[in-house]
Structure 1
Amino acid sequence: MFGAMQERQAAKLEKQKKVMDELKVQLEIWQEEYKELNKKNLHKLTVQEIEIDIINYKKYGIDDSQSIFAAKEQIKEDLSVLYAKDLETVYSHKELIRQTIENKRLKMNKRSYSLHVKEWYFYTTVHIQLELGLEGG
């Protein structure tokens, strides 16, 4: 009787060892896939900040830094949908972003101004350099 019990226990232990070995292999596969996903996600950077520069406001006699600040904030607000988007997506929609900016009209000092994208850089901080143009001029 003792021999039969020992034989069943040995078989049970052997079966459990086999299950454990299979689970270890599965765990290694999952861990490898997890590492690969982390590497891929590392390459997908996202937009974290938007910087706006208006370079020619002095040409139009705009010395009021509050007006320039408010104009930059309006543009940032319009582009706020870009935050946390991956750079690939943002860059692929750059013409739509350009149209959004260039269709915007700013009112400062009782005049209306249009915007033109001069330069831009895409990274975790999207940097956009704009020029003012006098509306109707």
Structure 2
Amino acid sequence: MRIPALYEKKTWQRFFAGAVCGGLISWIIFAYMYGEYQDAQIIHISKQAKEIMNLKQDIDIWKKDYEKLNEENKKGITLQEINVKLLNAERYKLDSLRKYEIEKGAKHDINHLIAKEISTVYESRELIKRTIENKVITIDEKRYRLEVRGLYLLYTNLDVEVSMRFHEE
């Protein structure tokens, strides 16, 4: 038994010719549609890349402006108030008037710092401490010296905590 030769029949020849032509036409349609789709994607990605570039430039401009404003604001902050607190007034049995006078005297020594920039005050904190500690106070013929226990710079306020001790010569 033998397999019949199908290539001699016209119906099979037409079928294969149609399949090949259909395959070519479908491949051409696919290539055209894929090309159009890729062109649209390239255009879309190009637009997005340009938009990203513009937004990055805007962000850089905003950052520079923001940093500039921050620097200006830092330079503009000044010391507004100085508070001095005597911690151990009870130990030396000082009345409130003497305590007030001691606090006022210490505050008077560093009062020149008001309206100075915060950065300047921060940099001169050791000088502030020495200024307060070098002052000798005489109460009832006894000599005392102030000692700085804490120096706090809170935004625009300078808080100084001091304590008294006997002055040894």
The verdict on a shared fold, with TM-score over 0.5 as the criterion, is: yes
Cα-to-partner distance string for 1:75-108 (whole Å, 9 max, x where unaligned): 1111011001111111111111111011011122
Partner Cα separation in structure 1 for residue 80 and residue 99 of structure 2:
22
Question: Aligned pair 1:134/2:166, yes or no?
Answer: yes
Cα-to-partner distance string for 1:60-83 (whole Å, 9 max, x where unaligned): 121x11111111111111101100
Kindly, what percent of the aligned residue pairs are identical?
30
Q: Give the match for residue 147 of structure 2.
A: 116
Q: Give the match for residue 135 of structure 2.
A: 104
Q: Secondary structure at the match of 2:143?
A: strand
Deviation of 1:37 after TM superposition, in Å, equals 5.8
Amino acid at match of 1:108: I
Partner Cα separation in structure 1 for residue 118 and residue 68 of structure 2:
18
Partner Cα separation in structure 2 for residue 55 and residue 110 of structure 1:
21
Deviation of 1:34 after TM superposition, in Å, equals 9.4
- TM-score normalised per structure 2: 0.55
Partner Cα separation in structure 2 for residue 107 and residue 50 of structure 1:
23
Deviation of 1:36 after TM superposition, in Å, equals 7.0
Q: Give the match for residue 48 of structure 2.
A: none
- TM-score normalised per structure 1: 0.67
Partner Cα separation in structure 1 for residue 71 and residue 119 of structure 2:
13
Q: Secondary structure at the match of 1:57?
A: coil
Superposed, 1:1-137 pairs within 5 Å as 38-44=69-75, 45-62=77-94, 64-123=95-154, 124-136=156-168
Q: How many corresponding residue pairs?
A: 104
Q: Secondary structure at the match of 1:41?
A: helix
Where do 5+ consecutive residues of structure 2 fail to align? 1-63
Q: Secondary structure at the match of 1:89?
A: helix
Where do 5+ consecutive residues of structure 1 fail to align? 1-32
Partner Cα separation in structure 1 for residue 89 and residue 79 of structure 2:
27
Task: Calculate the aligned-residue CA RMSD, in Å.
Answer: 2.1
